[in-house]
Amino acid sequence: MEAPAPEAGAPPVISPLPRVHRGWRVFIFLTSAVLLTGVVAMLFADLLWRTGWSGSRTFLLVLFVILFLLAAIGCMTAIFGFVLRRLGDRRRITGLGDYRNQDISAASTAIIFPVYNESATRVCENLRATYESLERTGQGDRFDFFILSDSTNPDSWAEEEHRWCQLVRDLHALGRIYYRRRIHNTGKKSGNVSDFLKTWGRRYRYFVCCDADSVMRGDTLVDLVKLMEAHPPVGLIQTVPALINSESLFGRIQQFSNRLYAPIFITGLNFWAQSFGNYWGHNAIIRTEPFMQYCDLPQLPGRKPFGGQILSHDFVEAALLLKENWQVWLAYDLEGSYEESPQGLIENAQRDRRWCQGNLQHTMVLFARGFRSTSRLHLLLGIFGYLASPLWLMFLLTYNWMRWVHERSGLSEISVRGFIMHVNPTVHALIIFIICMCVLMLPKVLALLDLAVDRKRRREYGGQVRATASAVLETVFSTLHAPLQMLWHTQFVVTSLLGMSVNWSAQKREADGTTWGYALQRHWGHTVIGLGWGGLVFWLDRAAFWWFVPVVTGMVASIPLSVWTSRSTLGARARNAGLFLTPEETAPPAEINGLRDRLTMLEIKGETATRPVHSGLAAIILDPYVNAIHVSLLREKRLNPAYAAALEQLGVGTPEVRSLAEKMLREGPQKMPVAETRLVLSDADVVVWLHRQAWLRPPEKLAAWWQPAIRRYAR
């Protein structure tokens, strides 16, 4: 299973690859977007000119050009994707040669699951689904699995260890599924992966990076390894994960749009990216050696938000591989790669908050010497994914400003005849609006057309009528959601640029979604802005008000929208009505079916329920098995010199830790800061001592907190 390894610690020899030049595809693609933007920008400029030119009009035009260009790029991606899907695309990684007969017996692959305080039950069940699927291919022994924990919460730590051990026992997978927790989570996820590579990377020719919510089919994993073996210059292959397991209405809408629209978008993306693709951080296979040599990320100079550690590491890692002439491909037609998505508007925004800061930071590396132009394009599109929101807000505000100035001037509206279109200004504006709508809606229409000509896919989406109805409803929802995204993203961009952090209190969810109180806390600002803005526009320009109705409706209705779309009951009702169906719902693969069954069973047993605070700590100290697992793992950790040094640096083995442990017994863990708890739980000898003391001592020598914890075992 081990790949022949070079001398320990020595960098492996990698022959430099020839520099491949980009072809005509980027030119054709981007030029078509620029041409479309140019024509529509002319129409818009003509409209603005009809009532006299001004500085604010120049600003409005610039904003329009940027925003329309972004929309045009999206539209062109969909058009190119649609055409290629209909005509057949041979320039894709799976079509570049016969890889299916490739022998992978000499290839060793690690499948890694970096986790950070996520539900250990979910992680282990996702891993189990992937593991079992891989075993069914008969190629399972070519792969090892690693849960790479960066968890800082002692309860998550305990839960992970216990669940991992149970999983290993249940699957008879000792020596196949491993667990490692870092002592310090330096460098976050990229540091976590880097630590794995420094410790075990040389054992594996490839590694597949998964997220905590990733599931991958066994045959897909085998195909990925075969593709890597068949194409030695390829450094990374990214799959396109399908969203699964959504229950809430919001989650199901996202899941549906991801599954319906992604095929044409990704085919279009592959058209211009080709071997200069991108990495999305998970569900991708990576050639270990070049990654180890070229992708350890440097610290960026300066202070936050742009300096320091690179937060969104994936784009930069792909750029670094491309810089060294390794190929990065999107295996967009490889099915069997899955992930989960946020189940509510607020959770979605929380995730966006993290991504926004990371993407904005990419400005620093946008002009890095040696990066390929396609990498810069990926980075730029990522940056504008968030920057577009404040630009859109500015566009709307500038328009309002122009109306305000006009109203205050007391002048009447006199317009001259347009140069390009000889129609009245209202019709002129309407034509531009219709073009903009076409550019925004065409991808959805093309996705539905693409579905219409594929009988099997049509059935998987519940039929053409239901899919079309779902797409219409999805469009209505997106229209209401977009203004909220605009406000949120603007807030994130501004706070990120100012180096501020946004305080998100813990999500208050009930069994069936977001609570009204939490929604009010998060959305009251949006509601007030929507009411104020709507009123202002109504007062300024009643005719323009109706154009603003979709924008302000989303804001005003944000609280009920957030609560209702987070409801799984509404998600189930939509499913029963045949709305937002996806292939994984109508014809789920065995892996997803099995995963759902197990999760339902665990839910019935109460094993997925949120546990009380300190329950993990109580398990480590009181539960004879969890304690033994924890201590065994701590002892094994000492074998790694880097971890042994880190433990020593932490203070493990000093008398102070024993004093803290005594305090824990006498005063209870609730009296101790988390850092002290972590320190105590990092000392194997102290944890063994705590186990004995907690069970040996009479009640009067223990804090009252321990009594109910001990009684919980007496069933």
Partner 1 sequence: MDLSLESALTPPGAPADPPGSLAGRPLDEWNAAYAKVESYFQALRMRNKVLVGHLVIQVLRRAMQRALTEPQVPATQLAAEEMDHLVTGWFAQVLQEPAAGSSQMLSTRGRMALFLADMPGKWQDQFLRPGPWPEEFVKAMRETYLDAGPDFQLAKMTPRPLDLGPIATLTSFGRVPYLKMVVGWALFALLLVILFQMTHR
Which 144-203 residues touch partner 1, going by CB under 8 A? 144, 146, 165, 169, 174-175, 178-180, 194, 197-203
Residues in 384-423 that interact with partner 1 by CB under 8 A: 419
Structure tokens at 316: 């930069």
Q: Is 690 exposed, middle or buried (0-12, 13-18, 19+ CB in 10 A)?
A: buried
Instruction: For residue 48, give the nearest of 432, 321, 366 by alpha carbon.
Output: 432
Q: Which is nearer to partner 1, 191 or 263 (CB)?
A: 191
Distance of CA 636 to the CA centre of its chain: 33
Nearer to partner 1, 3 or 520 (CB): 3
Residues 615-654 touching partner 1, rule: CB under 8 A, are 622-625, 627-629, 631-633, 636, 639-642
Site for partner 1 in 4-23 (CB under 8 A): 5, 8-9, 11, 21-22
Could you tell me the smallest distance in angstroms from the CB atom of residue 696 to partner 1? Answer: 4
Provide CB contacts within 8 A for 442, sequence distance 6+.
75, 78, 79
**Helices 120-136, 154-170: crossing angle, 10 deg rounding:** 30
Burial class (CB in 10 A: 0-12, 13-18, 19+), 677: buried
CB 318 within 8 A of CB 280: no
Among 29, 36, 40, 45, binds partner 1 (CB under 8 A): 45
Cβ distance 258 to 332 under 8 Å? no
Which stretch, 34-42, 232-240, 501-509, 575-583, contacts partner 1 (CB under 8 A)? 34-42
- In the complex with partner 1, the residue whose CB is nearer, 5 or 494, is 5
Of the candidate residues 17, 32, 46, 564, the single one contacting partner 1 (CB under 8 A) = 46
To the nearest 10°, report the CA torsion of 395, 397, 403, 407.
-160
Nearer to partner 1, 50 or 217 (CB): 50
Cβ at position 340, least distance to partner 1 in Å: 27
* Closer Cβ to partner 1, 542 or 715, answer by number: 715
Q: Which is nearer to partner 1, 169 or 671 (CB)?
A: 169
Dihedral pair phi/psi, residue 143, rounded to 5° = -125, 145
| Token pair in block for residue 462 | 């519940």
- In the list 59, 116, 294, 705, the residue contacting partner 1 (rule: CB under 8 A) is 294
Residue 112: strand, helix, or coil: strand
Give me the least distance between CB of 622 and partner 1, in Å please: 7
Closest CB to partner 1 among 296 and 676? 296
Closest approach of partner 1 to the CB of residue 469, in Å = 41
Tokens 């109180």 belong to 517
Q: How far is the CB of 183 from partner 1 (least distance, A)?
A: 14
Give the alpha-carbon dihedral of 479, 485, 486, 492, to 10 degrees. Answer: 180
Indicate the residue among 424 and 586 with the shorter CB distance to partner 1. Answer: 424
Cβ distance to partner 1 smaller for residue 166 or 507: 166
Beta carbons of 200 and 180 less than 8 angstroms apart: no
Residues numbered 512 to 571 that lie near partner 1 (CB under 8 A) are none
**Residue closer to partner 1 (CB basis): 9 or 16:** 9
Quote the tokens at residue 63: 């904003």
Binding mask 242-281 for partner 1 (x = CB under 8 A): ----------------------------------------
* The one segment of 111-119, 291-299, 384-392, 536-544 that binds partner 1 by CB under 8 A: 291-299
Of the chain, the end-to-end C-alpha distance in Å amounts to 45
Least CB distance to partner 1 at residue 304 (A): 16
Phi then psi for residue 144, to 5 deg, are -120, 150
Choices 117-125, 211-219, 293-301, 506-514 (CB under 8 A): range interacting with partner 1: 293-301
By beta-carbon proximity to partner 1, the closer residue of 360 and 574 is 360
How many Å apart are CA 236 and CA 317, to the nearest integer?
Answer: 10
**Of 300 and 540, CB closest to partner 1:** 300
What share of residues in the chain are helix, strand, coil (percent, to 5)? 65, 5, 30
How many chain residues interact with partner 1 (CB under 8 A)?
Answer: 84
Q: Is the Cβ of residue 172 or residue 542 nearer to partner 1 in the bound state? A: 172
Distance (Å, whole) CA 558 – CA 488: 12
Does 305 sit behind a cis peptide bond, omega within 30 degrees of 0 on the bond before it?
A: yes
Q: For residues 590 and 642, is the Cβ–Cβ distance under 8 A?
A: no
Nearer to partner 1, 400 or 640 (CB): 640
At closest approach, how far in Å is the CB of 301 from partner 1? Answer: 7
Integer CA distances (angstroms), 299 to 199, 201, 378, in order: 21, 22, 21
- Stretch 346-375 residues interacting with partner 1 (CB under 8 A): 364-370, 373
Looking at the Cβ atoms of 185 and 495, the one nearer to partner 1 is 185
Nearest residue (CB) to partner 1, 121 versus 374: 374
φ, ψ of residue 518 to 5 degrees: the values are -70, -40
In the region spanning residues 55 to 114, those forming contacts with partner 1, defined by CB under 8 A, are none
Q: Which stretch binds partner 1 (CB under 8 A): 2-10, 424-432, 475-483, 501-509?
A: 2-10
**Distance in angstroms (rounded) separating the CA atoms of residues 541 and 546:** 9
Written as one letter, the residue type at 601 is M
Per DSSP, the three-state class of 145 is strand
CA 53 to chain centre: 44
Of 126-145, binders to partner 1 (CB under 8 A) are: 144
Task: Tell me the closest approach of the beta carbon of residue 112 to partner 1, in angstroms.
Answer: 12
The minimum distance between CB 149 and partner 1, in angstroms, equals 11
CB of 572 to partner 1, least distance (A): 35
Beta carbon of residue 5, minimum distance to partner 1 (angstroms, whole number): 6
* Rounded Cα gap, residues 47 and 43, in angstroms: 6
Residue with tokens 């004093």: 659
Minimum CB distance to partner 1 smaller for 52 or for 532: 52
- Considering only residues 23, 38, 535, 612, which one is a binding residue for partner 1 as defined by CB under 8 A? 38
Going by their DSSP bridges, the two strands 215-216 and 337-339 should be labelled as antiparallel
Structural contact between residues 346 and 522, judged by C-beta atoms closer than 8 angstroms: yes
> Of 573-602, which residues contact partner 1 (CB under 8 A)?
none
Length of the chain: 715
Minimum Å distance from CB 625 to partner 1? Answer: 4
Name the minimum Å distance from CB 659 to partner 1: 19
Q: Which is nearer to partner 1, 8 or 87 (CB)?
A: 8
Residues of span 308-337 touching partner 1 by CB under 8 A: 320
Which positions from 671 through 710 interact with partner 1, judged by CB under 8 A? 685, 688-689, 692, 695-699, 710
Distance CA 469, CA 189 (A): 40
Shortest distance (Å) from residue 47 CB to partner 1:
11
For residue 633, the minimal CB distance to partner 1 (Å) is: 5
Alpha-carbon distance 300 to 45, whole Å?
41
Instruction: Write the CA distances from 78 to 321, 439, 443, 444, 454, integer angstroms.
Output: 27, 10, 5, 9, 17
Q: Which residues contact 306 (CB under 8 A, 6 or more apart)?
A: 300, 360, 361, 363, 364
- The alpha-helical segments, DSSP class H, found in 557-589 are 558-565, 568-576, 583-586
| CB-CB contact of 121 with 156 (8 Å) | no
Tell me, residue by residue from 461 to 500, as one string, x for binding to partner 1 by CB under 8 A and - for no binding.
----------------------------------------
In angstroms, what is the minimal distance from the CB of 236 to partner 1? 16
Q: Give min distance, CB of 28 to partner 1, in A.
A: 10
380 binds partner 1 (CB under 8 A): no
Q: What is d(CA 466, CA 468) in angstroms, rounded to the nearest whole number?
A: 5
CB of 32 to partner 1, least distance (A): 12
